[in-house]
């Protein structure tokens, strides 16, 4: 009896409040913005999933100062884009700005505040051959040359999406070192580990993690034999320390295709595969990307 009374009061209160809240809201369906991973940290990739109040023709966004291009997933009736958060991004609230155009040419916009939680990354000491921490004048010339090659390569931002579906691991092996570790080489040179290491001996075939185009396949001083694939939407993947190339620059590759053979070339403590992911100029955690279920 008593319980029934409370339910009735609650119902009446809800019925009274409901008309006021619906006056404040727009009569159209609301925008929705889904974020994966739900708990977003610095150094992570992020998948945005957006539904709009009206049927739209295009959707573009801005996130942490980067332009974001969305694709439409017809089966899920949702717009999606992969983006990232740099490791240097401070914990806090950031705005995702969205701009859409309806089929009738009407401009719609929306903002969503997204929280980035701070992640601490560990620190380790490593030993490598001396030339990698005290390079000779000749090595320094190559390092300077490589820097230009990399800057040119990393400028590539293809708005159109080449990747499709979830990303697949490049090798079937255990992980020997994670993303974001602060490393000190030979007690002198500090560098952040901006990729994910797989424990593979020399001679293991390395596969493209998703489809795209090979924009770099050459020997660099620190990276060793290095391949860079452009997956579109500003997303690049890098494969380091290879012993052999199986693809050439300019070649289109599909997910799972063998692109090279693992090795220990460049600044490596031993043979392994270093996989890195870049999104519009920042390195993001490959391990999180490999776990994401993508359309």
Q: Which residues bind Zn ion (CB under 5 A)?
A: 195, 197, 274
Which residues does 266 contact at the CB level (< 8 Å), separation at least 6? 220, 221, 222, 223, 224, 225, 226, 240, 241
Element (H, E) at 139: helix 137-154
* Short-list 260, 251, 132, CA closest to 191: 132
Q: To the nearest whole angstrom, how small is the minimum distance from the Cβ of residue 146 to Zn ion?
A: 17
Q: Count Cα atoms within 13 angstroms, Cβ side, for 130.
A: 1
Whose Cβ is closer to Zn ion: residue 80's or residue 283's? 283
* Short-list 288, 290, 294, CA closest to 43: 288
Q: To the nearest whole angstrom, how small is the minimum distance from the Cβ of residue 295 to Zn ion?
A: 29
Whose Cβ is closer to Zn ion: residue 36's or residue 274's? 274
Whose Cβ is closer to Zn ion: residue 223's or residue 230's? 223
Q: To the nearest whole angstrom, how small is the minimum distance from the Cβ of residue 270 to Zn ion?
A: 11
Whose Cβ is closer to Zn ion: residue 129's or residue 159's? 129
Which residues does 196 contact at the CB level (< 8 Å), separation at least 6? 175, 177, 178, 179, 274, 275, 276, 285, 286, 287
Q: To the nearest whole angstrom, how small is the minimum distance from the Cβ of residue 117 to Zn ion?
A: 25
Q: To the nearest whole angstrom, how small is the minimum distance from the Cβ of residue 197 to Zn ion?
A: 4
Report DSSP state, residue 249: T
N-to-C CA span, the chain: 51
Whose Cβ is closer to Zn ion: residue 112's or residue 267's? 267
Cβ-contact 92, 116 below 8 angstroms: yes
Q: To the nearest whole angstrom, how small is the minimum distance from the Cβ of residue 31 to Zn ion?
A: 40
Which residues does 70 contact at the CB level (< 8 Å), separation at least 6? 48, 50, 58, 59, 60, 61, 79, 80, 81
Helix H, strand E, coil C: the string for 76-121 is: CCEEEEEEECCCCCCCEEEEEEEEEEECCCCEEEEEEEEEEECCCC
Which residues does 245 contact at the CB level (< 8 Å), separation at least 6? 217, 225, 227, 259, 260
Whose Cβ is closer to Zn ion: residue 216's or residue 273's? 273
- The residue with its CB nearest to Zn ion is 274
Q: To the nearest whole angstrom, how small is the minimum distance from the Cβ of residue 96 to Zn ion?
A: 31
Q: To the nearest whole angstrom, how small is the minimum distance from the Cβ of residue 120 to Zn ion?
A: 19
Distance between CA atoms of residues 264 and 250, nearest Å: 25
Whose Cβ is closer to Zn ion: residue 212's or residue 266's? 266
Whose Cβ is closer to Zn ion: residue 45's or residue 266's? 266
């Amino acid at each position: 009896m008593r319980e029934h009374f409370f339910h009735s009061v609650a119902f009446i209160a809800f019925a009274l409040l409901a008309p006021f809240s619906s006056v404040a809201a727009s009569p159209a369906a609301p925008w929705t913005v889904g974020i994966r991973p739900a708990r977003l940290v610095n150094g992570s990739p992020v998948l945005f999933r957006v539904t709009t109040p009206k049927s739209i023709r295009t959707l573009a966004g801005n996130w942490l100062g980067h332009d974001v291009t969305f694709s439409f997933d017809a089966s899920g009736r949702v717009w999606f884009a992969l983006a990232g958060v740099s490791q240097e991004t401070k914990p806090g609230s950031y705005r995702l700005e969205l701009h859409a155009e309806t089929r009738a040419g009407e401009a719609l916009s929306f903002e969503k505040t997204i929280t980035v939680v701070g992640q601490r990354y560990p620190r380790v000491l490593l030993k490598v051959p001396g030339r990698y921490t005290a390079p000779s004048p000749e090595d320094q010339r190559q390092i300077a040359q490589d820097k230009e090659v990399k800057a040119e390569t990393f400028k590539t931002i293809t708005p159109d999406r080449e990747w499709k579906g979830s990303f697949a691991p490049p090798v079937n092996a255990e992980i020997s070192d994670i993303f974001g570790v602060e490393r000190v080489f030979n007690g002198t040179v500090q560098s952040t580990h901006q990729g994910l290491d797989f424990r593979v001996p020399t001679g293991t075939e390395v596969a493209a993690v998703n489809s795209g185009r090979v924009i770099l396949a050459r020997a660099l001083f620190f990276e060793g034999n290095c391949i860079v694939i452009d997956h579109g939407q500003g997303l690049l993947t890098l494969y380091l320390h290879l012993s052999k190339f199986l693809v050439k620059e300019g070649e289109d590759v599909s997910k799972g295709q063998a692109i090279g053979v693992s090795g220990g070339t460049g600044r490596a403590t031993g043979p392994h595969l270093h996989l890195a992911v870049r999104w519009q100029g920042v390195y993001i955690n490959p391990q999180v990307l490999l776990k994401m279920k993508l359309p």
